[in-house]
Amino acid sequence: MGIRLVTGGVRSGKSRFAESLCVKEGKPVVYLATSQVMDDEMKARVIAHQRQRPKEWEVKEEAFDLAGVIAEIPTGSVLLVDSLTAWVSNLLMREPLAEGEDPSRWRSRRLTQVESHAHAWLDCLAARDAVIVTDEVGLGGVAMHPISRCFQDALGWVNQQVALRADEVWFVVSGVPWRVKG
C-alpha cells in the first residue's frame, strides 16, 4: 500500500474515501485526528466523523506533534491522518499574529516551523502504510489577509511534500475519487 494522499475540497467526501482505502487493507487502523474542538459546530463535525468510522479503530488525537505519535504506532497497522488542513492551521495559530507584530516576521517563523514539523513526521512514514487526508488550497484565489495567505502557502507546500513521497494521490470531487498519481 505505502503512502496514499487524499485531497479535495471541503465536504468533498475525502474522509469517507480515505476510510474506505483503510478498510480495504484488512489491517488494524490507527486514526490520527488532528482537529481541535473549539466550538459547538466543530464538535458536531468531529462527532459525525466518529460515527462513520469503524468502532474497532484505535484513535489518537494530536494537534501538533505528529512525528511523536507516528513514531509510537506499530508498523503493522495502517495509519490514517485526518487532516493536514487542521494540523497546519493548529501550528499557525499556536502563536497567532500579535497586534502590532510585523506580519512578514510572523509568517517566516510560522512557515519555518511548519516545514520543520512536516519533515519530521514525513520521515517517520518511511516503510509504513498510511492514508493522509488534506484539503486542496490551490484551486481558489489568493487570500486577502496575510494570515490566510500564509495558511495557503503552508498547506500547499505540505501537500506538495506529501504528494512527492506518496505512492498514490487521489483527488475527491463531489464524492467521486480520481486517481492523480500511482
Total domains in the fold of the chain: 1
Is there a catalytic annotation at residue 145?
no
In this model, does residue 73 exceed pLDDT 90? yes
Reported as a single tens digit per residue, the pLDDT across 25-45 is: 999 999 999 999 889 998 898
In this model, does residue 50 exceed pLDDT 90? no
The residue range of the domain holding 94 is 3-181
Distance CA 1, CA 79 (A): 11
In this model, does residue 59 exceed pLDDT 90? yes
Reported as a single tens digit per residue, the pLDDT across 128-162 is: 999 999 999 988 888 888 889 999 999 999 999 99
Q: Which residues have CB under 8 Å from 151's CB, separation 6+?
A: 88, 89, 92, 137, 143
- Name the active-site residue from 49, 117, 119, 145: 49
Cell of 182: 500511482
Return the residue matching grid coordinates 476510510: 19
The whole model's pTM is what? 0.93
Q: What are the C-alpha distances in Å from 27 to residues 3, 15, 79, 80, 143?
A: 15, 18, 10, 12, 41
CATH of residue 13's domain is 3.40.50.300
